[in-house]
Amino acid sequence: MSKNIKVPNLSDSTYYSLSRNAYKYDQLKEKLKSNTPIVTENKIGWYVERVRNDDDTGLDAVVLSQAEKRNGKWIKSDSPKNVIVAFAGTDPGKDPLSDVEQADVNHIVLGNDPKDKTQYVVKKAAKDTSKTLGRYTGSMEQTAMLESGDYKLITKTSQIDQADQLVREVKQKYKGTSTIISTTGHSLGGAEAEYSAVNNDIYAVSFNSPSIVKLHSEEKQKEINNGDYNPYVKSIVNPDDMVGAGWWDEFDRHNGTTIYTKDPSIATANREKRLDGNKLQQVGRNLLYFANTLIFQNPDTHWVGSNNFSFDENGNVQNIEGDELVYDKNL
């Protein structure tokens, strides 16, 4: 049974643009401070309502409200048509432990519960707990700090669960209004967008995000596999991309509709070649492909760039090879 979820009148290219902007941490903070809008490529203004960064878990998120244009100038709306929560993905320029080890490996790959809690050491007088003194390991140094009385332990869930909590807060803020809430993100950020969208029954568009169906409750998984979220969650994926299409085998599905940006048959054939032979050969080929495409970007199959995502004059996703159609994996 389909959900009764409000669908925004926004193009794929709008979500694409805001997914890219989610990585511009300093610019977002400056826009929030100066109260000036971001203007996307399709000439829509967005005010930064909130920036959420957690150096411990790796969460990087921004809440954006659609601006109004009056007399040729952008103004902040008291009742915006749309509010979008955009999530940045794995960023190699930041602490690799927070994104890669804690989120990508622990939850995306291994499927551990995003609500699992981790303890951190923080100074009792600290007002900002987004950056602590590190994870609690029970070391002699940390024990001495706690015994001094100046430090304490706090718990945090994963950035995936933090993303879910943030979206829940935003949805509650606009409850009873006509504002439509939706999410977007790229890579790990796209996974967070999909996860929080399904849990909060809102619309989402993600780009090259991994499948996170297994992270949901059994009830939600049944709804996802039944296609309940197909009209409301759109995963736009380059079929050559290991993150978005599948690390080893091809993903069975994403949370909603998976749109491949080109004919996936060549990508499927190449995947079969990588998985030919014995296990050691398979591992070697897959690691080499992973390194070439994601680390050395030769070719780049993953980033939110024009080589992976293209849009028509109306902002709808189109085939990156110039063919007529994109491909709905569910069909």
CATH number of domain containing 188: 3.40.50
Tell me the pLDDT band of 1, cut-offs 50, 70 and 90: low
In-domain check, residue 258: yes
Q: So what's the pLDDT on residue 323?
A: 87
In-domain check, residue 275: no
Residues 148 and 248 occupy one common structural domain: no
Tell me which of 135, 156, 177 is where a domain ends.
156
Phi/psi of residue 128, each to 5°?
-100, 115
In-domain check, residue 40: yes
Token duo for residue 90: 């794995």
Residues 130 and 231 occupy one common structural domain: no
- Backbone Cα Rg of the chain: 21
Residues 136 and 175 occupy one common structural domain: no
In-domain check, residue 129: yes
Beta bridge mates, 203: 182
- Mean pLDDT lowest for which of 21-35, 54-68, 107-121, 242-256? 107-121
The conformation of residue 150, written as its DSSP 8-state character, comes to S
Residues 152 and 18 occupy one common structural domain: no
In-domain check, residue 281: no
CA distance 234 to 236: 6
Residues 188 and 54 occupy one common structural domain: yes
Return the closest-CA partner of residue 234 out of 181, 180, 188, 198: 198
Residue with tokens 């805001």: 18
Q: So what's the pLDDT on residue 130?
A: 76
The residue segments making up the domain with residue 126 are: 118-156
Residues 197 and 81 occupy one common structural domain: yes
Reported as type and span, the H/E element at residue 325 is: none
- Which residues 6+ apart lie within 8 Å of 128 measured at CB? none
pLDDT > 80? residue 108: no
Average pLDDT of the segment spanning 27-31: 97
Q: What does pTM read for this prediction? A: 0.95
Token duo for residue 189: 């950020």
Residues 38 and 174 occupy one common structural domain: yes
Q: So what's the pLDDT on residue 101?
A: 56
pLDDT digits (tens, 9 = 90+) for 183-213: 999 999 999 999 999 999 999 999 999 999 9
In-domain check, residue 20: yes
- Which residues 6+ apart lie within 8 Å of 81 measured at CB? 8, 9, 66, 178, 179, 180
Residue type (1 letter), 240: D
Q: What share of the chain is helix, strand, coil (3-state, %, to 5)?
A: 35, 20, 45
> Over pLDDT 70: what percentage of the chain?
95
Residues 84 and 126 occupy one common structural domain: no
Residues 77 and 206 occupy one common structural domain: yes
Residues 187 and 77 occupy one common structural domain: yes
In-domain check, residue 56: yes
Q: So what's the pLDDT on residue 100?
A: 59
Q: So what's the pLDDT on residue 317?
A: 97
Token duo for residue 240: 């050559």
Tell me which of 156, 181, 206 is where a domain ends.
156
Residues 74 and 123 occupy one common structural domain: no
Residues 91 and 194 occupy one common structural domain: yes
**Overall number of domains in the chain:** 2
H-state helical runs in the chain: 12-21, 25-34, 96, 140-147, 159-173, 188-200, 218-225, 242-245, 265-274, 279-290
